[in-house]
Structures are given as structure tokens and as C-alpha cells.
Amino acid sequence: MAKQNIYDNPIFFDGYKKLREKEKNANNIFEKPALFSLLPNLSGKRVLDLGCGFGEHCMYYIAQGADAVVGIDISEKMLQAAREENNHPNITYINMPMEDISQIDDKFDVAVSSLAFHYVEDFANVVKNIYEKLNDNGVLLFSQENPLCTCHSGGDRWTRDENGEKKYLNLADYGVEGERESVWFVDNVKKYHRTFSTIINTLIDTGFVIEKMIEPLPTKEILRNMPEFKDLYHKPDFLLVKVRK
Ligand SMILES: C[S@@+](CC[C@H](N)C(=O)[O-])C[C@H]1O[C@@H](n2cnc3c(N)ncnc32)[C@H](O)[C@@H]1O
């Protein structure tokens, strides 16, 4: 199965880096706080970060008391930045697709993946490999683009009023799973759509117990300062799931 490595594309990489450097991006406001709120106590734990990117989360897990963190990513450019900006003696960065984690010898107490699973074609296999890499009672916690976003397969995402305000989401092909191509900094960025039931049933069928899900929404205070985020009430951008072995 061919794996896409779009983050090594220099134009994509520069666009993505600039986006993440903006303080008020949706990751910082919604996804990261929700993800970190679901973390178990990391004191003395071994953590695997799948699709670790710039390694910022790996540093956070160390600051939360993790004994050791292994960050893996398919993109060498992302890992170069991680090694420069988020270097720590207890963090190991490995250039590897998450589909191949069975090659890692270690076992882990916690596996975390932030906004990377929607790039994976064979979700069931990745989930199975994570299950095998976790110690008993281990936690898998991940965020991904919400299935209401990943289903998009073309045309305008929104129906707008005469002033250009978003009225509602144009939803189509939710039930058609599989590859989607989109334009994000460059053409032909591949992501994979799976329905909620496929995601949840894959986790259950592998043996995980679902503990919590979050679809982050803006608080009143966020809306007061950034009213543009009211669109999240039509469609949340992210899905977060915490499961236990
Ligand atoms: C949106 S970025 C998120 C980076 C980081 N987790 C964060 O939240 O800051 C997605 C990351 O997943 C990585 N990725 C995509 N497909 C992957 C795969 N099959 N195996 C490992 N990493 C992958 C990309 O290279 C990229 O660094």
C-alpha cells in the first residue's frame, strides 16, 4: 500500500509550518487543549507519539513526567525540525510510517496520535499494531479530522447567504469511505474518510474499551473574541477518542 509523505514536499512543509506558527490556529485553540485534557497521568510512563511532527507534544509529555517518549513520523523534514527545536535526552525520534511500528522492540503505556490517522489508509491494521505495542491497561488517545470533514469529496463545502456568511455545511458522500484528494498548500493531498461507526467499531473489534470522545466546540469566551468559530456549531473540525486496552 503506497503511503503518502506530503509533509516532505517543501511547499506543503513551508505552508504548514507558517500555519502552525500562528498563535490563534484551530489546533492551539481547540484540538490541543482537548487532547491534553484526555491524557492519563504520564508520571513514569513510556509514551509513543504516532505522527509526532515537530515534536512539541513529545516535549509536553516529558514535562508531564513521562520517563521516555518515542516520536515517529513518516516525514524526515518534520523530524529535522523536531530534533532541532524539541530535543531531549529522553525523546527518541524515528523516521518511520506508523504502519510499521511492529518493528519497534519496546512496549508502551500510552500511545498518542494528533491529527495523523486521517492520512492512514489501513486504519484497522494500525490500530491492531498499536494494541500489540501497548502494555495491559495501556491507553490510546488520538485526534483526527472529524468524519463530517473527511467525507468532503468536491464542490463548495458551505452554502452561504447573500452576504457570504456560512449558512450550513454541504454534506455528501458521508457513507462512501476511502481516499479523498484535496488542495491544501499543494494539489493532491490524500486523506482517508471513515464513518464514526467504522472508527469506533474498529477500536472495539481490536479489543479496546472506549473511555471518552470529544468534538471540541467554542466556549462563550472564545466566541466573544473570535466569532468566526461559530461555524463549529454546524460542524466540529476535530474528533478525539480515548480508549484503553
Ligand atoms: C497534521 S501533522 C500533526 C503533527 C503533530 N502530531 C502535531 O499535532 O503537531 C500530521 C503528521 O503526521 C505525519 N504522518 C502522516 N502520515 C503518516 C504515517 N503514515 N506515519 C507516520 N506519520 C505520518 C505527517 O508527516 C505529519 O508530521
Per-residue pLDDT tens digits for 127-186: 999 999 999 999 999 999 999 999 999 889 999 999 998 999 999 999 999 999 988 888
User: What cell was used for 8?
Assistant: 516532505
Q: Which residue is it, cell 476511502?
A: 178
CA distances from 151 to 50, 118, 146, 204, 209 (A): 23, 11, 9, 22, 26
Query: Which of the listed CATH numbers 3.60.70.12, 2.160.10.10, 3.40.50.150, 3.40.190.80 matches domain 6-244?
Result: 3.40.50.150
pLDDT in tens, 79-92: 999 999 999 999 99
Distance in angstroms (rounded) separating the CA atoms of residues 129 and 74: 16
Distance in angstroms (rounded) separating the CA atoms of residues 210 and 206: 11
Q: What is the dihedral of CA 190, 121, 216, 164, to 10 degrees?
A: 30
Q: How many separate helices (H) and strands (E) can be counted in the chain? A: 9, 11
**Using CA positions, which residue lies closest to atom 8 of ligand 1?**
114
pTM across the whole model: 0.96
What are the beta bridge partners of residue 73?
A: 95
pLDDT surpasses 90 at 20: no
**What letter would DSSP give residue 39?**
P
Provide the percentage of residues in the chain whose pLDDT is more than 70: 99
Best residue for ligand 1 mutational test, from 3, 73, 125 (most atoms within 8 Å of Cβ): 73
Considering all CA atoms of the chain, what is the largest pairwise distance in Å, rounded to the nearest integer?
Answer: 58
Distance in angstroms (rounded) separating the CA atoms of residues 136 and 151: 34
State if residue 120 touches ligand 1 by the CB under 6 angstroms criterion.
Answer: yes
Q: Which residue is it, cell 480508549?
A: 243
Distance in angstroms (rounded) separating the CA atoms of residues 9 and 244: 35
State if residue 74 touches ligand 1 by the CB under 6 angstroms criterion.
Answer: yes
pLDDT in tens, 169-218: 999 999 999 999 988 888 888 999 999 999 999 999 999 999 999 999 99
**C-beta of residue 76 within 8 angstroms of C-beta of residue 8:** yes
Index of the ligand 1 atom closest to the CA of residue 78: 27
- Predicted pLDDT of residue 1: 65
State if residue 55 touches ligand 1 by the CB under 6 angstroms criterion.
Answer: no
Provide the percentage of residues in the chain whose pLDDT is more than 90: 84
- Predicted pLDDT of residue 22: 82
H helices within the chain, ranges in order?
10-21, 26, 32-37, 56-63, 76-85, 123-133, 147-150, 196-206, 220-225
Q: Taking the CB of residue 233, how many other CB atoms lie within 10 A of it?
A: 10
What are the beta bridge partners of residue 169?
A: 158
In angstroms and rounded to an integer, the radius of gyration of the C-alpha atoms of the chain is 18
- Predicted pLDDT of residue 81: 96
User: What cell was used for 14?
Assistant: 513551508
User: What cell was used for 28?
Assistant: 492551539
CA distances from 172 to 116, 158, 191 (A): 23, 11, 16
State if residue 48 touches ligand 1 by the CB under 6 angstroms criterion.
Answer: no
